[in-house]
Structure 1
Amino acid sequence: MPELNLTHELVLLAYDDQGVNRLGTPNLDQGLGGALLLELALAGRVEVTDGRLAVADPTPTGQPLLDEALVRIRTESRPRRPQDWITRLGRGLREQVLDELVAAGVLRREAGRVLGVFPRTRFPSRTGAEPVVETEARQRMRTAVTTDGPVDPRTAALIGLTRALDLHRKVFRDLPKEQVARRIAEIGAGDWASAATRRAVQETQMAIITATSTAAIIATTTVS
């Protein structure tokens, strides 16, 4: 199985056992764009300077999705905010990530129709049970939230990502809300990465919150 990253883990957490996206398309797309930036930040490839995203190291990571994003950021004509990049990178990314999970044998693609009329594609687990990689991600996050020990950078970033998307309420729904909120705040403020990386992660998380909130307002206004 190829190396999976935060984009794959986010998709697995967002889709239920029936293979349906429960996070919502706009939110998941924004989250996936943010997940790419978080991975690049953790790898030391990007940083935030004066509110703009910049490439700190152009060396390829070896992961196609990350390297494609890195090239786009490096060759952009002018510096842009993290919020701009999560929107740009999120377009069409969900389909790419799902394709990779299907190719890796984690999910399967099921094409069908709702009420025999409207086309719908679902992405349930290949085995019918929760994918092992999703279970592992959930266990890492749960251990981090229920203990006071050190948290590895990728798990800390994944927890922050789910918090920015309000997905943590579903991931930790069986745990006391006060405990989860306190521990997530501690993890966010913890010394789990370099100052530059933490700043890039925090900026990306705030950008996700802003982008998803804006999308929700636009959707509400359009419907009204």
Structure 2
Amino acid sequence: MNGLTLADELVLLAYDDAGTNRLGRPHLDYGLAGAVLLELTLAGRVEVVEGRLAVVDPTPVGHPVLDEALARVGAEGKRRRPKDWVGRLSRQLSDRVLAGLVEAGVLRRESDRVLGLFPRTRYPSSIGGEPAPETEARRRMHAAVVADGPVDARTAALIALSRSVGLDRKLFPDLPKDRVKARLAEITAGDWASAATRKAIEETQAAVLTAITAAVIATT
């Protein structure tokens, strides 16, 4: 598989220029799990059938994170709902995605201690400014929000993921809030892709929101 995945793009959007996660956990973890499921859907490997995730093509896509997830779903004895897989796939997923971006030279890993005591790891851009893939992702999303009509499936999926983790509020600060809210709802529910893809996005978005809500309630 060539190019960055939806999970890669979501990480880049979630981390600020200093290399700090603006979303925190568990928001990013669950969002990345949802990104993996949607990537496999867009690749034609999985579908949501009667509310449960099913492998329709077990052929590897050529990306270690995606192929491992595909194999896990395929090896499961029974079909499970997207929300079950969001929880299962989220464990240590952000570390793997970040490691891949470091290996690709998009980010770099920096470790230090706050006040000389508390360990901290950051992932700033390897070029000292916004990485080119992040700039491109922002451009696609901004163009989709200010325009009317259908949106390509990958951009719509990224917008749906950003919305489910609450990142959308940080991505369009210069646009009217009412316009952004209405357009995002239109995009995520629009007739821009196959019925199977739309269904997967709806189910995955709901699964991510459910997982985040449950985690927040548990911590409070």
Instruction: Confirm or deny: 8 A CA contact 1:106 1:131 kept in the other structure.
Output: yes
1:142 is matched with which residue? 142
Instruction: Confirm or deny: 8 A CA contact 1:58 1:70 kept in the other structure.
Output: yes
The one-letter code sitting in structure 2 at the alignment partner of 1:106 is V
1:91 is matched with which residue? 91
1:12 corresponds to 2:28: no
Secondary structure of 1:150's partner?
coil
2:71 is matched with which residue? 71
CA distance in 1, matches of 2:157, 2:168: 12
The one-letter code sitting in structure 1 at the alignment partner of 2:204 is T
- CA offsets, 1:173-222, max 9 Å, x none? 221111011111211222221101110111000000111011110111xx
- CA offsets, 1:116-175, max 9 Å, x none? 011111000111100000000000000000011431100000001011111100011221
Structure 1 segments of 4 or more deviating over 6 A? none
The alignment's TM-score, normalised by the length of structure 2, stands at 0.97
1:163 is matched with which residue? 163
- CA offsets, 1:82-134, max 9 Å, x none? 01101111111111111111111111110100110111110001111000000
CA distance in 2, matches of 1:27, 1:185: 20
**Structure 1: segments with no counterpart, 5+ residues:** none
1:50 corresponds to 2:50: yes
1:30 is matched with which residue? 30
**Structure 2: segments with no counterpart, 5+ residues:** none
Secondary structure of 1:25's partner?
coil
1:172 is matched with which residue? 172
2:113 is matched with which residue? 113
CA distance in 2, matches of 1:185, 1:10: 19
Instruction: Confirm or deny: 8 A CA contact 1:6 1:158 kept in the other structure.
Output: yes
1:82 is matched with which residue? 82
The one-letter code sitting in structure 2 at the alignment partner of 1:187 is I
2:100 is matched with which residue? 100
CA distance in 1, matches of 2:38, 2:64: 15
CA distance in 2, matches of 1:138, 1:186: 18
1:204 is matched with which residue? 204
CA distance in 2, matches of 1:200, 1:108: 33
The alignment's TM-score, normalised by the length of structure 1, stands at 0.95
CA distance in 2, matches of 1:162, 1:75: 29
CA distance in 2, matches of 1:19, 1:81: 33
CA distance in 2, matches of 1:189, 1:16: 29
Secondary structure of 2:209's partner?
helix
Instruction: Confirm or deny: 8 A CA contact 1:83 1:211 kept in the other structure.
Output: yes
The one-letter code sitting in structure 2 at the alignment partner of 1:93 is L
CA distance in 2, matches of 1:200, 1:159: 14
1:3 corresponds to 2:3: yes
**Deviates further, 56-65 or 111-120:** 56-65
1:132 is matched with which residue? 132
